[in-house]
Structure 1
Amino acid sequence: MLRSDARDNRNRLLEAARAVFSEHGLDVPMREIARRAEVGPATLYRHFPTKQALVEEAFTDELRACSGIVRAGCADADPWRGLCAVVTRITELNAHNQGFVDAFLSSYPGAVDFAAHRAGMLRSLALLCRRAQEAGSLRADFVLDDLILVFMAGRGLWATPPDVRVAAARRFAALTLEAFRASPAGTALPPPARVARAAVNG
């Protein structure tokens, strides 16, 4: 068990890492995280020997939240409603935390938990999308890669001012879902960009 001072240092490091990763993504040097936490680099590396370990620990709550969003959407008896909830809530999550999006989409080198979590999420979403297509709610030419493109594009929401970021995320999600909705008058799409395999493999 950690002593109280060591536990305090660990908590401060995690809090600083979440803040810095959220603001700037994963490319922030470890020294900057130590500086933000007001501890020395040695203290940081004593608790987190690698950046990978810090990333995984910092985003445990986000991983759990993301998993819950997908689970709830897939459990909805109405697959279109479930898909709408997933797209909207994950887009909002992305808008709040650039670091989590970077880690989740790119799989920080060696972050096995992220890769496994992402692969499982995509398998569940593929089934949900298939159900929505079979119900006639999701356009027939939709492919899972389209959803990955939306999540990738959603990273740009971080560039919006903080006071409008949630509104921008909801608007972006609503526009996306309108594009995904099945419609007799819907125009044909260009060939899909095959990005799902790359997303799964990092």
Structure 2
Amino acid sequence: MDIPETPSESQGERSPTSKRADAERNRERILTAARKLYASEGLTISMAAVAREAGVGKATLFRHFTTPQQLIDAVFADSMDAYVDATTEALADSDPWHGFVRYITSVCEMQARDRGFADVLTLTFHSAKALEERRTQAYHGFLEIIDRAKVTGHLQTDFVSEDLILVLMANAGVLSATANDAPDSWQRLIGHLLRGFASPGAPIPPMPPPPSSDSLYLAMKRAE
């Protein structure tokens, strides 16, 4: 049920404190609904669908978030903070190659946990300024991760930052195709990619097991 935020929506006047509390509750309901829908369906969910899930009117939704980009920015603020933290943790690793492997794996796992975030990492939102600032911060951290890993001799010299975008796009595609039937398939993909990025003799994590034939068949059938 939509909680009224203005006198015209309620019976009689309400105190400013009461209206602020109602507005904050509605905002949290909207964010909770958006997180749920983005995580399960991706960023194609409409604002109207978010309003329905939150149990608020569209007018209430647009009072808090006038554009989809503003809502996306608010929903994924914490996730983008974690994305930046992943670069910090990788740079703090005493073994730069291990930090590189850790970073690639961690970011792909973030995508696996949240389909909406998988989309966020492969798209740009120029009007979502806070989100883009965090993305830029993480990008510059990743450039340093690459340089440090190359110094060890374990990362192929032709690896470039654009390769991360390809990794994230590939992972997002696998997640979209297999999430319902073979949700751990992304781990196998990343295992293969890390082997391609590693120089001969570089220490690499054990290869994750492949998905079963039956689970992949179901995923392929679903994609028809």
| TM-score between both structures, scaled by the size of structure 2 | 0.75
Of residues 113-122 and 74-83 in structure 1, the stretch that sits farther from structure 2 once superposed is 113-122
1:159 maps to which of 173, 177, 183: 177
Shift of the alpha carbon at 1:71? 0.9
- Confirm whether residue 134 of structure 1 aligns to residue 151 of structure 2: yes
Q: Is the 8 A contact 1:105 1:152 kept in 2?
A: yes
Aligned residues: 183
Q: Which has the larger radius of gyration?
A: 2
Shift of the alpha carbon at 1:77? 1.5
Shift of the alpha carbon at 1:109? 3.8
Give the gaps of 5 or more residues in structure 2: 1-16, 202-224
Matches for 1:166-181 after TM superposition, within 5 Å: 167-181=184-198
Q: Which has the higher helix share?
A: 1
1:33 maps to which of 24, 37, 50: 50
| TM-score between both structures, scaled by the size of structure 1 | 0.83
2:106 maps to which of 61, 73, 89: 89
Distance 1:109-1:23 versus aligned 2 partners, 3 A rule: farther
Give the gaps of 5 or more residues in structure 1: 185-202
Q: Percent identity?
A: 36
Return the alpha-carbon distance in structure 1 between the equivalents of residues 77 and 144 of structure 2. Answer: 25
1:12 maps to which of 20, 29, 37: 29
Aligned Cα RMSD in Å? Answer: 1.8
Shift of the alpha carbon at 1:65? 1.1
Letter in 1 for 2:159: F
Letter in 1 for 2:131: F
Q: Per chain length, whose mean CA-contact separation is higher, i.e. which structure has more relative contact order (CA < 8 Å, sep 6+)? A: 1
Return the alpha-carbon distance in structure 2 between the equivalents of residues 174 and 128 of structure 1. Answer: 19
Give the match for residue 108 of structure 1.
125
